[in-house]
Amino acid sequence: MAEECNDKKCYRHGNVRVRGERLSGKVVSTKGKNTAIIGRDITKKIAKYQRWAKERSRIAVHNPPCINAAVGDIVLIGETRKLSKTKAWTVMEVVQGTSK
Ligand SMILES: [Zn+2]
């Protein structure tokens, strides 16, 4: 993947630095341009009821052309500055690809 990348919002080739939290999740949508939606299932314990509750979270992340994660991929994401109205995260690497 030595493609040329001139995306300013790419953390490797642009001017975005990853800082803060790192998470991993599964790509559930790549409909937006250079954007992926990551879905995460979190199991949380609710102390009051002594039960496990499932929580689902969706995070919009930047998907630079040089990474180009596809739906179903497990990716590592990192927190960046705010990249757009809804994005403040970027895909850092594809941990487990499905389409390659
Ligand atoms: Zn890049």
pLDDT digits (tens, 9 = 90+) for 10-31: 999 999 999 999 999 999 999 9
pLDDT value of residue 97: 84
Distance 77 CA to ligand 1 centre (A): 14
Domain CATH for 30 = 2.40.50.1000
Distance 49 CA to ligand 1 centre (A): 46
Distance 67 CA to ligand 1 centre (A): 7
77 within a domain of the structure (yes/no) = yes
- For the chain, the domain total comes to 1
Alpha carbon distance, N-terminus to C-terminus of the chain: 12
pLDDT value of residue 40: 94
Place of tokens 């990249």: 83
pTM: 0.85
Q: How confident is the model at residue 1 (pLDDT cuts 50, 70, 90)?
A: very low
Whether the Cβ atoms of residue 13 and residue 7 lie closer than 8 Å to each other: yes
Summarised one tens digit per residue, pLDDT across range 39-89 is: 999 899 999 999 999 999 999 999 999 999 999 999 999 999 999 999 999
pLDDT value of residue 71: 96
14 within a domain of the structure (yes/no) = no
Q: Can you give the residue range of the structural domain that contains 74?
A: 22-96
Closest CA relative to residue 89, chosen from 13, 40, 23: 23
How far is Cα 25 from Cα 42, in angstroms, rounded to an integer? Answer: 10
Closest CA relative to residue 67, chosen from 19, 23, 21, 30: 30
Whether the Cβ atoms of residue 52 and residue 43 lie closer than 8 Å to each other: yes
Distance 22 CA to ligand 1 centre (A): 18
16 within a domain of the structure (yes/no) = no
Distance 61 CA to ligand 1 centre (A): 14
